[in-house]
Structure 1
Amino acid sequence: MASKQAVDRRDEDEVCPVCKSSRYLNPNMRFLINPECYHKMCESCVDRIFSSGPSNCPVAGCRKTLRKNRFRAQTFEDIGVEREVDIRRRVMHILNRREEEFDTKRNYDDFLEQREEMIANLVSRIDVAKTEAQLKQYALENEQSIRANQALEEQEATSFQARMTLEQEEAQRRRQIARQEYENERRELQAGREDFLTRLAAGTSADAGTIAREGSKVHLKKSSARRSEEERIRQKQAALRGSETKRGGASTPAAAGPADSGLIKGLRKIKTPEPEKPYDPFMGFVPEKRDYFTLQESYPSSFLERQRQNQMASAGGYDLREYYSRTLLEAFAGLGVFVGDEVSKRDAEKVSPPAATEGAAMVAGNEK
C-alpha cells in the first residue's frame, strides 16, 4: 500500500519540462516520449510545437529533430528500460537470422553473442556510429532474407495464436463435457438409489443381498465404461499433439540470400536449384539423328528426281526420304565394325579349342 502511494505521489509530481505544468494541477495530463531522444513532455506541448511539421526538441541541450508521428505513450516507468527495449526490438528486427541457417550450433551461438554485443554498444552509447553503419550495411545487403525471416516469424506467431485459441476452446469443451458427465452420473446414482430402495421395499429380506450385488455390478460396469472412454479420448489427444509437433518441428528451408555476409559468419551455403529442363517425350531420342550422317531433304540424282516428280510414285503415301534414310543407313552400317579384330579373334578360337572339347578328346583316347 505504501509503495502504491509513493508511485501515485511521484505521478502527481511529474512536471512538463516545456510548459512547467504539473499533473497535480491537471490530473488529466498525458505525457508522451519520442524514441529519438526519450525526453518526456505533455501532449498539449507536442500538439503546439510539432503540429506544423518537424522541429527541434524544446528540452534545453537537445538539438535532435523530432516529428509528431513518432511520439507515443511511455510503456515502462524507467526511461532507460524503455530505450533498451526499443533498441533491442530494432536490432533483432534486422539481425533476425534463424538457427537452421547456420552450419553448426556454435556458429549460431556466436551470432547471438554478436547481436547482444551490438545491442549493448547501442544501449551504453559505445561506438554508436560504427554499429549503426554496420546495421545499415547489413540491412541493405540482406533485405530479401530479412523479409523472408520476418514473414516466417509472423506465420509462426499466427500459428501459435491459433493453436492457443484452439487449446482454450478444447479445454472449455472438456470442462463442459466433464460437467455434463458429472450431472448425468449424479442423476444416474440418484435414480439407482431410488430404484434400490423401491426394490427393497417391494421384496423380502432374502432378496436384499441379491439386489445389492446387482446394483454394485451395474455401478462397476458404468465406471469401467467411463474410464475406457476417458482413456480413448486421452490417447486421441496425445496423437493429435504428436502430429502437430512433427509438423511444427519440420525444418524450414533457409531464406534466399547471400551464403555469407561481411557481418555474420558461419552461414550455411545456399545451393541454387538448377532450372528445370523442358519436357522431352522421347527422353533424348531424336528420330532423324544418326551417328555418322545427317539426313537431308534431297540428293542430286537424275533417277530419283524423276521419281520425285512422278505423282504415281507418291500416290500411296510413299516418301522418298525413307529411301534416302535406308540407303544411307546401309552405307554407314559397317563403320562401327572392325573386321580385322573379328578375324583375329576367330582364328585364335580355331587354334586353341575350348576346354570342354579337349576334355572330350582325352576321354575318347582313354576308352580306345
Structure 2
Amino acid sequence: MFRNGVSKLVDNPSDDICPVCKSNRYLNPSLQFLINPECYHKMCSTCVDRIFTSGPAPCPVPHCGKTLRKRGFHKAFFADLAIEREVDVRKRVGAVFNRRHDEFETLLDWNNYLEEVEGLVFDIVEGDVKTRTIAEEKLRMYKEANKGVIEENTRVGLEEGELERRREKAEREAARQRRLAVLREEEEEKADMLKTRQSVLDRLANEDVDANTIAAQAQKIILKKTSARRALKDIPIQSNGSAMDAGLTIRGLKKKEAPAPEKPYDPFGGLDLTPARYVLQDHYENEWLGGAKKDTRHMAGGYSLQEYYARTMFEAFSGLGVFIEDEVTDRNQQPQAVVAPAVETAAAVQAAVSKTKFERNMELDDVF
C-alpha cells in the first residue's frame, strides 16, 4: 500500500489479461503488454496500435482518462509497475537535479542536497494528489531557474561516460594484448626447447664430447634466453590506446596520496606519562615485600609489583604540585562573604607561614 491509502498501480502483477480487449496470454503466448509513463496502465500492443496510431487519445482504462500518445508506450522492465514508476521518476528527477559533489563547499551541503532530492522523489512517488502537485511544481520551477547549469552538468556527465567507456575499452584491449604476449612467449619457449633439444641430439651424434658437458651447455643457453625474455618483458611498452594516454587524461582530479599507516590506539592522545621528578626502578628493597616476591599466590591473578612501585612513587611525589602559599594568598583575597575552609593540616599551616619557594611545575605524573 502507498501512503495516505493510495492503492498500488497494479493489483496483481502476474495478471496476463489485457484490461481493454481482455486478451489472455495463456491463449496467445506472443501477446506483449506495453505501458505509458503517464498513467502506467498496461495494455496489449494490439490495443495500443488500434487506439493510438491515429493520434493522441484518452486512456481506455476506466476512471483514468489521461491523454496518451503512442510514442510514450514501452515494454515494462519490472514485473511490479510500482517499481517501474519509481525508477522512471528517479530518472526524471535525476536529469534535473544533476548537481555534482565538487560543486558543494562541504560534505554537509552535499548530503543536504541529496536528502532534498530524495524527499522530492518520495513526494512524487508516494504522495497524495496535493503533495505530488506541489513536488511537480517545485521540479518545474527548479528546471526553469537552473536550465544552464543542468545542461552543463548533463554535458559533463556525457563526457565522463564517454571517457569511462574509452577507458574500459582500452583496458580490455590491454588485457587482450597481455594474453597474446603470454601465448607468444609460451610458443617461443616451446620452440627454443625443441631447437635446443635437437641441437643436443645432433652434437651427441656427431661430436665426441661428454654428454654431461653438452647437457650443461644446453641448459645454460636455455637459462640465458629465458632471462633475456624476462628482461624484455619488464620494459614498459607504449600503448596507443591505454587509459593514461594524453587524450584520456582527466584534469582537475585531486592527487592520490597513500594513506598513512595506522598507529596503535593511544587512549591518552599522545600524552607523555613518563615521570619527570623521579626515575622508576625495576626493583626496590622493602622488607614488607620480601615475602610477596617469593610467594606465587600473589602473582597468580596477574598482579605485578611494578604497578605497586609506580603507584607508591606517584603518591609520594604527587604533593609536589600543590603550592600552599599561593592558595593562602588567594584565600585572603576572597570576599568576606565567602567562608574559607575551617580545617587545615599542620603541614599546610607550617608551609604557609614559612617563606619556602617551590618550583612551579604543575605537571602531575599520573602513570595511569
What is the TM-score of this pair, normalised by structure 2? 0.60
Per-residue CA distance 1:212-257 (angstroms, 9 max, x = gap): 22112111111212222222237x67xx6567799325259xxxxx
Cα 1:139–1:12, aligned 2, differ >3 Å: closer, same or farther? closer
Q: 1:66-99 CA distances to partner (integer Å, 9 max, x unpaired)?
A: 1111111111222112111101100000000011
Alignment match, 2:346:
none
Quick one: which of 145, 148, 167 aligns to 1:144?
148
Per the alignment, residue 170 of structure 1 pairs with: 174
Check if 1:229 corresponds to 2:232.
Answer: yes
Query: Are 2:187 and 1:186 equivalent residues in the alignment?
Result: no
Does 2:118 correspond to 1:116? yes
Q: Which residue of 1 aligns with 2:35?
A: 33
Q: 1:244 to 1:22 in 2, by over 3 A?
A: farther
Note the alpha carbon deviations across 1:332-363, whole angstroms, 9 max, x for none.
xxxxxxxxxxxxxxxxxxxxxxxxxxxxxxxx
Cα separation, 2, equivalents of 1:99 and 1:49: 46
- Aligned residue runs from structure 1 range 72-111, under 5 A: 72-111=74-113
Structure 1 counterpart of 2:134, which letter? K
Counterpart CA distance in 2 for 1:175 and 1:56 is 59
Q: 1:57 to 1:179 in 2, by over 3 A?
A: same
Instruction: Kindly indicate whether residue 207 of structure 2 is the aligned counterpart of residue 198 of structure 1.
Output: no
Q: Please give the residue correspondences for 1:286-365 in structure 2 after superposition, counting only pairs within 5 Å.
A: none
The residue matched to 1:72 in structure 2 has which SS? coil
- CA distance 1:55–1:241, change in 2 (3 Å): closer
CA distance in 1: counterparts of 2:113 and 2:15, whole angstroms: 44
Paired amino acid for 2:200: F
Cα-to-partner distance string for 1:164-196 (whole Å, 9 max, x where unaligned): 222222222222222222112111111111111
How far apart, in 2, do the equivalents of 1:246 and 1:68 lie?
41
The Cα of 1:125 is off from its aligned counterpart by 2.2
Contact 2:192 2:222 in 1 (8 A): no
SS at match of 2:249: helix
Matched, 1:210 2:190: no
**Contact 1:13-1:22 at 8 Å conserved across structures:** no
Letter in 1 for 2:146: N
Contact 1:96 1:150 in 2 (8 A): yes
Distance 1:114 1:80, change over 3 A: same
Q: How does 1:9-24 map to 2 (within 5 A)?
A: 14-24=16-26
Alignment check: 8 A CA contact 1:13 1:23 kept: no
Structure scoring higher RCO (CA < 8 A, sep ≥ 6) equals 1
- Residue 330 of structure 1 corresponds to none
**1:37 and 1:64 in contact (8 A); partners too:** yes
Q: Given residue 132 of structure 1, which amino acid in structure 2 is its aligned partner?
A: E
Going from structure 1 to structure 2, the CA distance change for 1:99 and 1:91 (only over 3 Å counts) comes to same
**Alignment CA distance shift 1:246-1:99 (3 Å):** farther
Alpha-carbon deviation of 1:163? 1.8
141 and 194 in structure 1: CA distance in 2 versus 1, 3 angstrom threshold: same
Letter in 1 for 2:222: H
CA displacement, residues 6-54 of structure 1 (integer Å, 9 cap, x when unaligned): xxxx999611000001112222221110001111101111111122222
Q: Find the aligned partners of 2:44 and 2:213 in 1 and give their Cα distance.
A: 85
Q: Which secondary structure does the structure 1 equivalent of 2:34 belong to?
A: strand
| 2:230 counterpart of 1:220 | no
Count of residue correspondences: 239
Residue 70 (1) aligns with residue 72 (2): yes
* Partner-residue secondary structure (3-state), 1:73: coil
- Contact 2:163-2:248 within 8 A present in 1 as well: no
Q: Which runs of 5+ in 1 are unaligned?
A: 1-9, 253-368
Going from structure 1 to structure 2, the CA distance change for 1:148 and 1:12 (only over 3 Å counts) comes to closer
Contact conserved, 1:12 with 1:24, CA < 8 A, in 2?
no
Match of 1:51 among 47, 50, 53: 53
Q: What is the RMSD of the two structures over their aligned residues, measured on CA atoms?
A: 2.5
Amino acid at match of 1:67: R
Identity over aligned pairs, percent: 41
Flag the structure with larger Rg.
1
- Give the TM-score normalised by structure 1: 0.60
The CA distance in 2 between the partners of 1:121 and 1:12, in whole Å, is 27
| Structure 1, 16-25 or 47-56: larger mean CA deviation | 47-56
Residue in 2 that maps onto 1:336 = none
Q: 1:13 to 1:124 in 2, by over 3 A?
A: closer
Q: Give the partner amino acid of 1:178.
A: V
For 1:196, give the aligned amino acid: V
Is the CA contact 1:100–1:251 (under 8 Å) kept in the aligned structure 2? no
